[in-house]
Structure 1
Amino acid sequence: MASLDTTTAPAAQTGTASKRARGQTAMDFKSAATGVSAKAMRNELNAMIQGIDDPDFKKAFEAEMQSFFILFNRYLAERAKGQKIDWDKIQPPSPEQVVPYSDLPESTNKGELLNKLAVLKLNGGLGTTMGCVGPKSIIEVREGMTFLDLSVRQIEHLNSAHNVNVPFILMNSFNTDDDTARIIQKYANHRIELMTFNQSRYPRVNKETLLPTPKSAVEDKGAWYPPGHGDLFDAIMNSGLVDKLLASGKEYLFVSNVDNLGAVVDTRILEHMHASGAEFLMEVTDKTKADVKGGTLINYEGNVRLLEIAQVPNDHVEDFKSVRKFKIFNTNNLWINLRAIKRIMENDGMDLEIIVNHKQSDKGEAVIQLETAVGAAIKHFNNAHGINVPRSRFLPVKSCSDLLLITSDLYQLEHGQLRMNPSRMFQSTPVVKLGDHFKKVSAFQKRFKTIPSLLELDHLTVAGDVSFGRAVTLRGTVIIVANDGQRIELPDGTTLENKLVSGHLKLTDH
């Protein structure tokens, strides 16, 4: 009878995952695994495994629970030791640890290198924060096209322009897989090889009892969670895709968030990766006050590491947010050597920093989710370093404020890629802050008859019940505030330049 064990891999599991699990569990977590919490967790997980009849589902579920059990044991061990990062050992990265993009030479053998590349988008998130149902990647963002449509168009153009075959891969979660499978059928006749696989599904843990909240493997989705994009390495190895890509001649993987419209294939970075022999490249860009919570690269005891805000001691959070000390942040655009992934995962695996995410379940109980970040893997790869790229390679859509920017005349669309409008005098992106009335996409669409011209905008703040007519132009700094009970409707053709607009459309110089 197969079951999880604290010192050996499950009997039914073979190959890469079992070798890694056996080695790590025995060496690193033996003491923690003998604890009461570890034993109780092991028993609960085993009970769920034994409740499965289908052999294929049982084997896959058991592999996931083994990986989760390793992560849980690490959490217990670190909690018991009170391990925290030593702030005094943190230094800004050295010049060789972050290379300026401007120093990279132009690519000379684009076709040859592109044929060794695969592109992967992290597609596990939902569009709930923007008021949408289903995967975030199916939100329409420009000219009726979704995030997925734009990505497919980019890869299709790349393949046609260079006569290459760059596969397009989606890492879904159990939240997005079914919807994505239906949607991607429309790309069947496109010049693109499209693959998908699922990241792991881990059980939420009751904060007080440290036991899994689900009692069976098929319990409601709300009892489970996708464990962060650091799960990429376990999930892609378990899927068999790494071996499949290597067998087809692929050597490099370009990974990015599906909602980052600036994350397009760049042959200069690919050429640098090939020429330098780097196994892992992280694209970073200069930090602004809007990015103070973003993870940053640091020099820790001579090694390059990713530091996330969740790892920072409370009394150093303001230091972490400082633009002076930490001048760059991680865009989560990553270039990774596929053979290196296989080598590392088949040996000791990865020891990624655990991010403890506190949540409340649908039943009202306090739960924790143990997650990891994919960028934290930088410490495991040879000659890994950062590339300080232009801000144009970081164009995420996290809110309707971002949506306003990328749907406006600030950008032009070419082969699925957004480029800053050359008519804009300054290449910096304006700061846009839309209030709660614009939080959901449906409300956003109702409040703009057409998207205003933002070509000469520096800063826009909108609060309260405000709507925009057709052909509105916003320039300089514009602040529009409708107080409670008031409504502001900007007429068609309105031009506002350095204005503060309050109730009843009273315009004053700002």
Structure 2
Amino acid sequence: MATDTEKLTNLKSAVSGLNQISQNEKNGFINLVARYLSGEAQHVEWSKIQTPTDKVVVPYDSLTPAPTDLSETKKLLDKLVVLKLNGGLGTTMGCTGPKSVIEVRNGLTFLDLIVKQIESLNSKYGCNVPLLLMNSFNTHDDTLKIVEQYTNSSVQIHTFNQSQYPRLVAEDFSPFPCKGQTGKDGWYPPGHGDVFPSLKNSGKLDALLSEGKDYVFIANSDNLGAVVDLKILNHLIQNKNEYCMEVTPKTLADVKGGTLISYEGKVQLLEIAQVPDEHVNEFKSIEKFKIFNTNNLWVNLKAIKRLVEADALKMEIIPNPKEVEGVKVLQLETAAGAAIRFFDHAIGINVPRSRFLPVKATSDLLLVQSDLYTVVDGFVIRNEARKKLENPSIELGPEFKKVSSFLSRFKSIPSIIELDSLKVTGDVWFGAGITLKGKVTISAKPGVKLEIPDGAVLENKEINGPEDL
């Protein structure tokens, strides 16, 4: 077996011959692999973990109200850039192409909603907040075509690509493209932690700084709750916080999400992968770790430049093993949230749950297309008629997994204002104007097509066949 030093030497010479990627990408990749091989995995000493105080994780309600004066608000917003992470494909929901172009509501896609939100800010305050999209090599070409639709928009839209790294063949740590896999399968985007070097390497960071921009608001393009918040921006500028992670109270649906801790005098993200096995249940408990990371991040641009140039952002490495065409490969990735410990005066803000509304599956799409929400100026707003803080829990069977099959199985989306939970399994079809309340379980027997008639009102029901309707 080759030693780690030999592996790295062989890898360097192999990577130097890969002409599909830039020198910056080659250097970044070699650095990442070298760190991985050196075994510098961050082991958290459980006894040193402390619960962050309100100074470190600031309650949203304690923030000073944002200025109401239009010219003061314009000054704030002119320092801001919105960056959406747009590298993901809609494959889990049965779509090809970037996930951000899935239609969310009223024929509008994630991207349409994002552009509308920024348009309404720019027109209301006379400011110029640009939109940046960080694509991956998977989404780049499609996104460029889509962005052309917005040429008449008042929003300046910039795109740049995150790094493209070669997958590693697990057996001998050689780059997969050198083993004959020269197509897209030979490569991977190394996680959203790569946003910081990619912003710098693309030239976008220096361009934004030269325009007088100070802060970037980074969020996943599929989080409909991640909208610009003036109170947060104002707080960060007043307190010179270089980094802010929005966290929100954990529910049972979020037990695997990363959380913020105080550790050796610094605020730090703790991910489930770093937790020793004997403490995993404790990590998942809502009692001890009450908050989780929404991946809505606010970061000072000058600080990004300083840390990237000093090569100081050494985020925890997340090894992601995969199998491609029968070959076991390894992807080394990093997460943007883990960068929090490298920035000065970094904080968390404990925000309302409404700022976390991700659409990861068709069950989430059901929520946002229902009467629980309306859309105003691109903002997705929750219906006040819903008295419960939590959204209904929705589980749809595999028949509903793809967006196209999901849409074909509903004549119209049911009313769910008073729904607690819905579980659907089997070949179920919904008519128009249906109302669901309380706990509803619908399971069609194998081989049976079960149709819920138009106008049905189902309250606290378990339905296994037409006779139960």
User: Could you tell me the TM-score, scaled by structure 2's length?
Assistant: 0.96
Equivalent of 2:394, from 411, 432, 437? 432
Given that 1:487 and 1:504 are in contact with CA atoms closer than 8 Å, whether structure 2 keeps it comes out as no
Q: Secondary structure at the match of 2:160?
A: strand
- Is 1:184 paired with 2:147? yes
Q: Tell me the residue number matched to 1:5.
A: none
The structure-2 alpha-carbon separation of the partners of 1:306 and 1:33, relative to structure 1 and needing over 3 Å to count, comes to farther
- Is 1:490 paired with 2:452? yes
Aligned length: 464
Given that 1:225 and 1:369 are in contact with CA atoms closer than 8 Å, whether structure 2 keeps it comes out as yes
Please report how far the alpha carbon of residue 129 of structure 1 lies from its aligned counterpart in structure 2 after TM superposition.
Answer: 0.1
Please report how far the alpha carbon of residue 90 of structure 1 lies from its aligned counterpart in structure 2 after TM superposition.
Answer: 2.1
Q: Tell me the residue number matched to 2:8.
A: 38
Q: Tell me the residue number matched to 1:16.
A: none
Q: Structure 1, residues 87-135: CA drift from partner, whole Å, max 9, x if none?
A: 2322222222100000011111311100110000000000000000100
Equivalent of 1:93, from 30, 52, 73? 52
Please report how far the alpha carbon of residue 477 of structure 1 lies from its aligned counterpart in structure 2 after TM superposition.
Answer: 1.1
Please report how far the alpha carbon of residue 216 of structure 1 lies from its aligned counterpart in structure 2 after TM superposition.
Answer: 8.3
Please report how far the alpha carbon of residue 299 of structure 1 lies from its aligned counterpart in structure 2 after TM superposition.
Answer: 1.4
Q: Tell me the residue number matched to 1:380.
A: 342
Equivalent of 1:222, from 172, 179, 185? 185
C-alpha separation between the residues in 2 aligned to 1:34 and 1:491?
64
Q: Tell me the residue number matched to 1:208.
A: 171
Please report how far the alpha carbon of residue 85 of structure 1 lies from its aligned counterpart in structure 2 after TM superposition.
Answer: 2.4
Please report how far the alpha carbon of residue 207 of structure 1 lies from its aligned counterpart in structure 2 after TM superposition.
Answer: 1.3
Please report how far the alpha carbon of residue 481 of structure 1 lies from its aligned counterpart in structure 2 after TM superposition.
Answer: 1.1
Q: Tell me the residue number matched to 2:312.
A: 349
Runs of 4+ residues deviating >6 angstroms: none
For 1:42, give the aligned amino acid.
K
Alignment of 1:266-285 (within 5 A): 266-285=229-248
Q: Tell me the residue number matched to 1:76.
A: 37
For 2:278, give the aligned amino acid.
D
Q: Structure 1, residues 471-491: CA drift from partner, whole Å, max 9, x if none?
A: 000011111111212221100
For 2:167, give the aligned amino acid.
R
Alignment of 1:360-375 (within 5 A): 360-361=323-324, 363-375=325-337
Q: Tell me the residue number matched to 1:7.
A: none
Q: Structure 1, residues 360-404: CA drift from partner, whole Å, max 9, x if none?
A: 11x211111000000111001111010000000000000000000
Given that 2:42 and 2:316 are in contact with CA atoms closer than 8 Å, whether structure 1 keeps it comes out as no
Please report how far the alpha carbon of residue 34 of structure 1 lies from its aligned counterpart in structure 2 after TM superposition.
Answer: 7.4
C-alpha separation between the residues in 1 aligned to 2:457 and 2:285?
37
Unaligned stretches of 5+ in structure 2? none
Given that 1:165 and 1:192 are in contact with CA atoms closer than 8 Å, whether structure 2 keeps it comes out as yes
| Structure 1, 212-221 or 252-261: larger mean CA deviation | 212-221
Q: Tell me the residue number matched to 1:333.
A: 296
Given that 1:420 and 1:427 are in contact with CA atoms closer than 8 Å, whether structure 2 keeps it comes out as no
- Is 1:414 paired with 2:379? no
Please report how far the alpha carbon of residue 217 of structure 1 lies from its aligned counterpart in structure 2 after TM superposition.
Answer: 11
- Is 1:453 paired with 2:412? no
Q: Tell me the residue number matched to 1:239.
A: 202
Please report how far the alpha carbon of residue 212 of structure 1 lies from its aligned counterpart in structure 2 after TM superposition.
Answer: 1.2
Q: Tell me the residue number matched to 1:66.
A: 27
C-alpha separation between the residues in 2 aligned to 1:403 and 1:420?
14
C-alpha separation between the residues in 1 aligned to 2:29 and 2:397?
39
For 2:310, give the aligned amino acid.
N
Unaligned stretches of 5+ in structure 1? 1-31
C-alpha separation between the residues in 2 aligned to 1:325 and 1:133?
40
For 1:187, give the aligned amino acid.
Y
Q: Structure 1, residues 162-201: CA drift from partner, whole Å, max 9, x if none?
A: 1100000000000000000000101000111110100000
C-alpha separation between the residues in 1 aligned to 2:41 and 2:302?
35
Q: Tell me the residue number matched to 1:310.
A: 273
Q: Secondary structure at the match of 1:455?
A: coil
Please report how far the alpha carbon of residue 295 of structure 1 lies from its aligned counterpart in structure 2 after TM superposition.
Answer: 0.9
Equivalent of 1:394, from 351, 356, 374? 356
Q: Secondary structure at the match of 1:96?
A: coil
Aligned identity (percent) is 55
Given that 1:488 and 1:505 are in contact with CA atoms closer than 8 Å, whether structure 2 keeps it comes out as no
C-alpha separation between the residues in 2 aligned to 1:492 and 1:34?
65
What is the RMSD computed on CA atoms of the aligned residues?
1.6
User: Could you tell me the TM-score, scaled by structure 1's length?
Assistant: 0.89
Given that 2:90 and 2:102 are in contact with CA atoms closer than 8 Å, whether structure 1 keeps it comes out as yes
Q: Secondary structure at the match of 2:227?
A: coil
Please report how far the alpha carbon of residue 435 of structure 1 lies from its aligned counterpart in structure 2 after TM superposition.
Answer: 1.1
